[in-house]
Structures are given as C-alpha cells and as structure tokens.
Structure 1
Amino acid sequence: MKGFERKNQLLSLCGLNCGLCPMLLGGYCGGCGNGNQSCAIARCSLEHGGVEYCYECGQYPCEKYEGCEAFDSFITHRRQKADLERAQKIGICAYNREQTEKARILNHLLENYNDGRKKTFFCVAVDLLELPELREGMEQLDSAGELPGKEKSRYAAEVFQKIAQRRNVELKLRRKTGRK
C-alpha cells in the first residue's frame, strides 16, 4: 500500500506473525509489510496517525476485528488478537525475540524436513504451537537419527501433529468455502 511501510517484519500491525508466513518466506509479502496489496487495516493505521500496532489505537479492538480469527489467508489468523495482546503485555522486543526463535525453528524445519509439500503445515505448526512445544518437537526430531527423505518429512509432521493434538490444535489453514 502506497505510503505504508513496516519496520517490524515479524509482527504485522494487526497481529499476524508475518515472519512465519509462507509468502514472506517465499520473498513476496502481499500484505501490509512492504507489499503492494491494499490493506484496510494499513489504511486505517494511516488515518489514525500511523500507529505501529492496532493495540495503540484508542478504538482497538474495532469492528475490523469482528470474526477476524474465523478464517485464514496465507497464514493462520487464529491467534491474531491473542498475539497482539501478548506483544503488548511483554513488549515488542521480547515478542520479537520469541518470534525470531520461532522463525529459526521454522527455517530449520523447511531446510531439513520439508519434502516440498509441507511448507504451509510447518508455518502453521510453528505459529500455533508455543515455544516449549516447538523445542520439545525439535528434540524428538534430533533424537530420531537419520531418516530417508520423505520418511523424515512424514515423521516431523507426525511429531508436531501429536503435540498439537494434546492441546486440541488443528494444524491446517481454515479457508472460506462457498464464496458468493
């Protein structure tokens, strides 16, 4: 969006974890980051003096957040408000440290366990699972020893799927269906 730039590419102003998004990882950010897509929340930010995060606005949470977590885009929206609240509570620097560690884990998974079909799965898993759970999963993968290509990828997905099931977390994007 013209006139709108983000310094923090890990967390968007609306609460999406951009640093864990397959679009940004692929070298193209289609949202508010440094992309060229029109974003209603970026436009709103400019209209409200250029707030860095929506929680800085006196009208947050506004009607733009109604139902925002019901469906996903390229990245999950399920924790959008909760992640904004966490960033506000612990501070952006601490939140970014957590996201940087998550991004390192994600990059390791993509470089070593992606069979070419698990990029979105790993992005969603790293976004929705907590750091201690991700560390637990990585320890399991490290202790498994060397596995052949696709088996290695399948095993990694199973490890994170089991961790997610303990918390009743579904590791897939929820898309809108039946568009009018």
Structure 2
Amino acid sequence: MKKRVWRSGLMANQGFNFQKEHPGIALCGLDCYACPRYHTIGSSRCPGCAGKYFSEKHPSCGFISCAFKHGRLESCGLCPEIDTCNRITRLKTVIKDQPGYPSYQNRIANLIKIKGTGFEAFADTCIHKEALLKTLIDKYNDGRKKAFYCRAVQLLPLPDLENLLDENAKKGYKSVDDAALAVSNSLKELANKLGIEVC
C-alpha cells in the first residue's frame, strides 16, 4: 500500500513541474497568448499554461496533471479520450455560465480545431497572432489599450489583422496617443464590419 501512495505522489509532483513547449496555448483551450497578464512585465506576469514557474504562480491544475499522465500532451484536443473526458464535459457546462472575456468562451471551439486540424496548424496561427499583439502593445499602446488589443487579436481573423497593421505601419503618426487612437478605431471598424464584438 505504501508503494502505491509513493508512486502516486511522485507522479503528482512530476506533473506539477511539467512544462509545455507552447504555454501560450492552454491545455483546456484558453488562449493564454492573448491574455493581458501573459504580456505583463513584473512579478504579476502569468507564464501561461504549464509555462516556466507556473506552479509557483497558480494552484495545481487537473488539466496539467492529466496531460502529464497521458504523455505530456500540448493540448487536451490531442487526447484520444477527449470525447469521453469528464473534465471536458464539465468545461462545456461551465462555459455556458461564463460570459465575459472571450478566451473562456472559445475553449471548446479551440479544442475542436486542434482535434480536427492538428496542434501545429492551430499553434501556427496563435504564434502569428501573438506577434501582431506584441506589435500593437509595443507601438500602438497609450497605456490603456492592452486588454482591448488582446481581445481584438483573439477574435479577429489573422489575414485582416495583418493587413490592418501593414496599412498603419505606413502612416506617420505624430505621437503614441495618435497612433493608439487611430489603430484602436481601425480595429473597432473592422470588428463592426465583420459583426464581431471586441469591446
């Protein structure tokens, strides 16, 4: 009996320190790359799902422990048991009652994409979107736009975002405030045109 308890404890400890290659894409489908705390500088920064020092910032996560046991998965969307998983079933129920930040609403849709097209294709889009988000935060943020940019990048299509930033890169804004106002207005106009709510 003692031997089984020790092995279970060892497995839990190893899962607790499990680090994903892509912490910006959470096991449960959250878009960590598009979260303001993921792009915060300082001690309050979140390292993303199973990122470096994740266990020091957050309590233990059942998704992380489970992914470790299933072969150190990068996403629950890759798990052969996803369609019968109790955690995913509970997640579907919770999502119905969680209005607000889009990352919570998109989790199941993200997992379905990963299951259908594979993790690499999904990750490629996320990596490109994160690069655009960093450009928005570095060049077009007046100190009040980070959360808005995170929502916009998460919800708007990648090609449209790329075109919008390419166009704005050609404009000579006089100040960061002018740039932030112009780009945020452009993002709102794009969202309205596509029927997507980003505010």
Interval containing the TM-score (normalised by the shorter chain): 0.7 to 0.9
Distance 2:48 2:22 in 1: 13
Say if 2:128 is the partner of 1:101.
yes
1:54 paired with 2:76, answer yes
Alignment match, 1:18: 32
Deviation at 1:125, TM superposition (A): 0.6
Change (3 A) 1:52 1:104: closer
Q: Measure how far apart 1:116 and its partner are.
A: 0.6
1:108-129 per-residue CA deviation (whole Å, 9 max, x = no partner) reads 1111000011111111111111
Under a length normalisation based on structure 1, what TM-score does the superposition of the two structures give? 0.80
- Which structure would you say has the larger Rg? 2
- Paired position in structure 2 for 1:178: none
1:22 deviates by 1.8
Counterpart in the other structure of 2:46: 29
Of 118, 122, 126, 2:145 maps to 118
Change over 3 Å in CA distance of 1:52–1:112 after alignment to 2:
closer
Pair 25,157 (structure 1): closer, same or farther in 2 beyond 3 Å: same
Q: Tell me the TM-score normalised to structure 2 length.
A: 0.73
State the structure with bigger RCO (CA 8 A, min sep 6), 1 or 2.
1
SS in 1 for 2:94: coil
Match of 2:63 in 1: 41
Q: Which moved more, 1:102-111 or 1:51-60?
A: 51-60
How far is the alpha carbon of 1:92 from its aligned partner?
1.6
Q: Within 1, Cα distance between the matches of 2:100 and 2:67?
A: 21
Residue 167 of structure 1, CA deviation: 2.4
Q: Counting helix residues as a fraction of each chain, which structure ranks higher?
A: 2
Take 1:51 and 1:102, find their aligned partners in 2: how far apart are those partners?
22
| Aligned match of 2:180 | 153
Tell me the residue number matched to 1:137: 164
Secondary structure, in 3 states, of the residue corresponding to 1:115?
Answer: coil
Q: Encode CA deviations 1:22-51: one digit per residue, 9 max, x unaligned.
A: 222225226642323123433444566654
Aligned counterparts of 1:52 and 1:29: Cα–Cα separation in 2: 18
1:57 to partner: Cα distance: 4.7
Which is worse superposed, 17-26 or 151-160? 17-26
Aligned to 2:108: 81
What runs of 5+ residues in structure 2 fail to find an aligned partner? 1-14
Where does structure 1 lack aligned partners over 5 or more consecutive residues? 173-180
| AA of the residue aligned to 2:64 | A
- Tell me which residue corresponds to 1:2: 16
Q: Percent identity?
A: 25
The aligned length equals 171
Deviation at 1:17, TM superposition (A): 1.7
